Chain A
Amino acid sequence: MALLTVENLQVNYGVIRALKGISFEVNEGEIVSLIGANGAGKTTTMQSIMGLIPIAGGTVTYEGNVINKVPAHKLVAMGISQVPEGRRIFQELTVYENLVLGAYTEKDKKEIKNRIDDVCTRFPRLGERLKQVGGTLSGGEQQMLAMGRALMNRPKLLMMDEPSMGLAPILVEQIFDIIKELHKGGATILLVEQNAQMALSCSDRAYVLETGEISLTGTGAELAASPEVKKAYLGG
């Protein structure tokens, strides 16, 4: 059984139908990508799964439970974490405080400390900057903090929204190396990306989203080789 199953998901913004009934699933241990251009509905998909915007129709099932109406803070406690688009770290709080907030649903102080140690091992840059205020970090460091903060929840499902956005190519590679490492460690990741090439290179499976509908699906390699995808997203 899939960890996350999305069936015929529909979301409206007023009269605009942002998602016109999309279906996909994420199995345990997989990296699944949703790729597509600006305005295709990628972030909307993430936000509606997370319970941050209301779902107009369809069902979202996580670990066998329908979670359509479950609010975000409960989903976090159920093991879903999101690395939001634009990172959205808490700029006025320190790196340490950001990380602690990532484990908000965990009450055991010792466990929180262990998790901080783990995150600092994975992201040594964060470890060096624990006392620094989030807003003073560079873009790449902020992305690492956003990822580290999400990992503090020890999520069963990690949803990442545009982790490469606004980063220099070398940092994009670093971020994707980390995603691959997480995958090797057994993490289940739902990735939303405009950078189709990078996303497809590390994905087990992927879906192409076009104006609120899924137009193509296949393994990462299949889609990377598909003429339509090449033409639309990979520059011929």
Chain B
Amino acid sequence: MSILFDGLSLGAIYALIALGYTMVYGIAKMLNFAHGDIIMVGAYSVFVVMQRAKSPTDAFLNVACGLLLSLFICTLFGVVMEKLAYKPLRGVTPIAVLITAIGVSYLLQSLAQIFFGAKPHSVSLPTLGTVTVAGAKVSLSSIVTLVVGAVIMALLTWFVSKTTTGRAMQAVSEDRGAAQMMGINVNKIISVTFAIGSALAAFAGLFYLLQIPTAEPTLGSMPGIKAFTAAVIGGIGSIPGAMIGGVLLGVIEKICLSIPVIAPYTTAVEFSLLIIILLVRPIGILGKKRREKV
């Protein structure tokens, strides 16, 4: 039971990150490999606030401030990164954009090293303890992650399907040229997408710290790669796909970790799943093939 909850909450973290990958892929048609490092940026933002705030009485206020700063910084980084690094590359070969994204990833990691040093900093987040659900002890942080993650994903789904901007995002994702002919400013929509993806990464960063309260420059790499895997498993470009892929991967990871024989091979199991999905259903669980009607 507690494994399930832990798995679901880890899955929610992966899903939040995977959404950033999948939305940017869907709309800007690029893989933003620097996305994982935005989580790291968010984690350091929380770290800075928690370090400055020395009054443990207001722990939750501190966390809230940390989250706000993290949201602001991550969104800013996401939008600026897109404007400076990716926008000048519109229309060039995808491989150039991909290499650039990897470069941006290293840039962010190096910046973190310059400002905070290479050694890990422990982030003193309040411990939430555990509660008993259906006879099993479940950590409260898992439940918070799961609930907040679910609410964010519900909001995102509503936003994309019901608001004007959300519909414009769907339109740009399907046919950029036709979207322009509707009067949609594609550059603006891409900026909005990066902003949303980065804000989700800020949440993921905080939740990640709740699990492992250590900030280090390469903190974003592994969850970034796992979430990217989740996005591909779910079907890259598909928002519900990213959610399903993320949750699936999180649960599998926690189940594997709970079985002593398999535990050391957890990562191998996860990436094997990716390989199997790519062999059996290359477009992912919910990926779509475009039909064309002539």
Residues of chain A whose beta carbon lies under 8 Å from any beta carbon of chain B? 50, 52, 71-73, 76-77, 81-82, 84, 86, 88-93, 97, 100-102, 104-105, 135, 139, 142, 149-150, 153, 166
Contact = CB atoms under 8 A, between A and B. Distances in A.
Contacts of B260: none
A122 to B, nearest CB: 19
Contacts of B182: 73, 76, 101-102, 104, 149, 153
A73 B184 contact: yes
Nearest to B161: A97
B183 to A, nearest CB: 3
A101 B168 contact: yes
Contact of B178 (A90, A135, A139): A90
Interface residues of B, number: 22
A97 B291 CA distance: 19
A76 B171 contact: no
Contacts of A93: 167, 170-171, 174
Contacts of A153: 182-183
B177 interface: yes
A109 to B, nearest CB: 10
Do most interface residues of chain B lie in helix, strand or loop, or is the interface mixed? helix
Given A97-B167, A135-B291, A139-B294, A81 B174 contact: no
B57 interface: no
Given A91-B291, A139-B294, A105 B170 contact: no
Contacts of A71: 180, 185
B171 A101 contact: yes
Interface of B: 164, 167-168, 170-171, 174-175, 177-186, 288, 290-291, 293-294
Contacts of A166: 294
A77 B183 CA distance: 6
Contact of A90 (B171, B180, B186): B171
Contacts of B168: 101, 104
A50 B294 contact: no
A52 B177 contact: yes
Contacts of A77: 183
Given A91-B174, A93-B171, A135-B291, A105 B183 contact: yes
Given A72-B183, A73-B180, A88-B175, 20 more contacts: A52-B177, A52-B181, A72-B180, A72-B181, A73-B182, A73-B183, A73-B185, A73-B186, A81-B181, A89-B178, A90-B171, A90-B175, A92-B170, A100-B164, A100-B167, A104-B164, A104-B183, A135-B291, A139-B294, A142-B293
